[in-house]
């Protein structure tokens, strides 16, 4: 069964629009970590955020913000005032339990920002 | 610029060739990873080295052979590959070894491998 679901495959937005990427996860562990990574066309995955299961505080970093809701098992990511440089594939990932650091990735969201 | 360096960036090899992918990091990280990523798919974990010891092998075929000569270097030796092995191979590192908290991974730019 898929542990991380990112439903929207490709999302196109016009520059300066906001875009929200949905991530729904599934786990039976009480301790887990959620991540978002960005993969630009150059190939490397860039770490954006890590959130543990005990910290439901939302976070804002510049134009990026994250909304973690344990009640709905969601960890959504919003890009505000999108820019062309935001065009990339964004992966949500889950790491469960203690210390094996295995990441279960979602299928990714291809974000295309149109100038 | 990424702090995890992978070479080569591109590699084309025949099914009878032997080649190696290299990965280097100088951040003092104690865990290093190999991932395979097919087009339009998420990365799939292949191997994990923790404190220079192979800790995870995700049932990868023996035609892929990892090696960790020291804490900064990670190699992936390739032999008798198949065309379906064509993919982006990503190396990653994390500050602490397995058994520690779930630290973020630092990825390299990857090697784009084509098997003909």
Which residues of A fall within a CB distance of 8 Å from B112?
Answer: 43
Distance from the Cα of B50 to chain A's closest Cα (Å) equals 10
Residue with tokens 């991380």: A4
Confidence (pLDDT) at B42: 95
| pLDDT per residue as tens digits for the range B15-53 | 999 999 999 999 999 999 999 999 999 999 999 999 999
Best of A10, A29, A40, A45 to substitute, by most chain B Cβ atoms within 10 angstroms, is A45
Q: What is the per-residue pLDDT for A31? A: 87
Q: Are A93 and A104 in contact (CB under 8 A)?
A: yes
A60-68 long-range contacts, CB within 8 A, separation 24+:
A66/A36, A68/A34
pLDDT at A57: 85
Chain A: residue whose CA lies nearest to B100: A99
- B21/chain A closest Cα distance in angstroms: 16
Q: What is the pLDDT of residues B46-55, one digit of tens each?
A: 999 999 999 9
pLDDT at A101 over 90: no
Inspect the interface and report whether the beta carbons of B110 and A99 lie closer than 8 Å. Answer: no
- Tell me whether residue A110 is exposed, middle or buried, using C-beta atoms within 10 angstroms of its C-beta: 0 to 12, 13 to 18, 19 or more: middle
Q: What is the mean pLDDT of residues A93-105?
A: 81
pLDDT for position B97: 76
Position A46 scores a pLDDT of: 94
DSSP state of B78: E
Q: Mapping DSSP to helix (H, G, I), strand (E, B) and coil, where does residue A84 land?
A: helix
Any A CB within 8 A of B100 CB: yes
- Burial string for A8-40 (b: 16+ CB within 10 Å, else e) reads eeebebeeeeebebbbbbebeeeebbbbbbbbe
B1: pLDDT strictly greater than 60: no
pLDDT digits (tens, 9 = 90+) for B67-115: 999 999 999 999 999 999 999 999 999 988 776 667 889 999 999 999 9
Q: Do B43 and A33 touch (CB under 8 A)?
A: no
B80 CB near a chain A CB, below 8 Å? no
Secondary element (H or E) of residue A59 = strand A59-61
Q: Is the pLDDT of residue A11 over 60?
A: yes
As a whole number of angstroms, the distance between CA B29 and CA B4 comes to: 10
> Which residues of chain B neighbour A98 with C-beta distances below 8 Å?
99
> Inter-chain contact B105–A50, Cβ cutoff 8 Å?
no
What confidence category does residue A1 fall into, taking pLDDT thresholds of 50, 70 and 90? low
Q: What percent of chain A has pLDDT over 90?
A: 72
Rounded to an integer, what distance in angstroms lies between the CA atom of residue B82 and that of residue B114? 9
Pairing of strands A10-14, A109-114: parallel
Comparing CB atoms, the residue among A50, A98, A110 nearest residue B104 is A50
Distances in Å between the alpha carbon of A15 and those of A22, A36, A80? 20, 22, 10
Q: Report pLDDT for A102.
A: 81
């Amino acid at each position: 069964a898929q542990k991380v679901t990112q439903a929207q495959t490709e999302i196109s937005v016009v520059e300066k629009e906001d875009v929200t990427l949905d991530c729904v996860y599934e786990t039976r562990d009480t301790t887990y970590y959620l991540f978002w990574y960005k993969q630009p066309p150059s190939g490397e995955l860039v770490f954006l955020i890590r959130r543990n299961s005990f910290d439901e505080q939302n976070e804002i970093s510049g134009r990026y913000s994250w909304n973690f809701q344990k009640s709905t098992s969601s960890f959504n990511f919003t890009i505000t005032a999108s820019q062309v440089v935001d065009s990339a594939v964004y992966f949500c990932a889950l790491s469960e339990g203690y210390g094996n650091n295995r990441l279960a990735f979602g299928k990714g969201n291809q974000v295309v920002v149109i100038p | 610029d990424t702090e995890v360096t992978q070479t080569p960036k591109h590699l084309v090899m025949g099914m009878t060739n032997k080649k190696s992918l290299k990965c280097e990091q100088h951040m003092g990280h104690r865990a290093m990873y190999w991932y395979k990523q097919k087009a339009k798919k998420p990365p799939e974990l292949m191997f994990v080295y923790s404190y220079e010891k192979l800790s995870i092998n995700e049932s990868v075929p023996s035609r892929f052979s990892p090696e960790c000569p020291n804490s900064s270097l990670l190699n992936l030796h390739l032999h008798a590959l198949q065309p379906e092995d064509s993919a982006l191979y990503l190396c990653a590192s994390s500050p602490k070894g397995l058994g520690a908290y779930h630290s973020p991974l630092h990825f390299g730019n990857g090697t784009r491998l084509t098997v003909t």
